[in-house]
Amino acid sequence: PAEPLLPQEANGVGGRAVRVGTRRSQLARIQTDSVVEMLRELYPDLHYEIVAMSTTGDKILDTALSKIGEKSLFTKELENALERNEVDLVVHSLKDLPTSLPPGFTIGAVCKRENPHDAVVFHPKSSGKTLGLLPEKSVIGTSSLRRAAQLKKKFPHLEFRDIRGNLNTRLKKLDEKEDFSAIILAAAGLKRMGWENRIGQILSPEDCLYAVGQGALAVEVRAKDQEILNMVSALHDEETVLCCIAERAFMKHLEGGCSVPVAVNSMLKDGQLYLTGAVYSLDGSDSLRETMQTSVNYPQQNEDGPNDDVQHVGITAKTVPRQAQQAAESLGVELASLLLSKGAKHILSIARQLNDAR
């Protein structure tokens, strides 16, 4: 594997600050700080400077995310800064990054994944309950078509309504008004914010499959910036990388985005990578779900040469065996092909039309 830079070798980077781009939201800052902390431990001699900026997704708060339809809603401004050399790397939630990155960029690190499942946060008056125990017609807040589609099917007695805003805003809306009995959020975000005590229920894969890349942090860099790429590649977590390559390849082959309900669950166990993928109609009445597996048990080979920086669905992982990455990507593509052969395209195109018409 490409050896991470030793601090004394990081001279290419040394002598100047490493500038790290992030969104302004509290969660984004916490996530970015955690990545900078890991880099500090690896390269204590370098200086780090955090550059926070607002993105389109942070500014448009009155429209459902799925309606805006812009894939790079939370990433565009950050990528512009990266392109203009104003920052050296950017920290994102991996699930915000499209499966095809703009030319010239790559995901140079995928950090160890936090719990990828969805969590239910209940209104104080419903605390101690589960979704199944909420009264008829209780309103659940979520801005995710994926969550709503799965949960409508599973809990037909509940109603689902859009709720937008960052985590703080959504929790405030839940607690201070009587509009919602509960809201659904990613468990990872709640844990990172230190609000684990608010989690009333973690949704199992039987209840709700999660979003592609959910719970993982990604470090985006300029693809040609070898110094920074080598530096951040030490942050890769092999298991997370392989799971997320498979998930992203599945999504990409389906051509799914924010505006359609696509969901996954992946697991690496004893050298086998398992991927469950599903597509849903908006109301959840129509769905396809399959699971496949493949071996990713390959040794790391020392492969130098010009094809050193092969990207797999936007990820450059020099520290992970290349054959394993290839196997993970093929798994995602094959699973998507299987769903497409069973009619996934039809389900997704109707979901897209209905969502556009909402």
Place of tokens 């001279």: 11
**Could you tell me the CA-to-CA distances from 6 to 41, 42, 111, 220, 309 in Å, in that order?**
12, 8, 19, 21, 20
Place of tokens 């409508």: 152
Q: Which of 88, 96, 207, 225 is catalytic?
A: 96
Asked if 96 is an active-site residue, the reply is yes
With beta carbons less than 8 A apart as the criterion, state whether 324 and 242 touch: yes
Please report, for the chain, how many H helices and E strands are present, in that order: 11, 13
Instruction: Kindly give, in sequence order, each residue whose CB lies less than 8 Å from that of residue 165, ignoring residues fewer than 6 positions away.
Output: 61, 173
Burial 72-107 (b: 16+ CB within 10 A, else e): bbbbebbbebbeeeebbbbbbbbbbbbbebeeebbb
Q: In what order do the strands lie in the sheet with 217-222?
A: 47-53, 17-23, 89-93, 217-222, 105-110
Q: Mind telling me the catalytic residues? A: 96
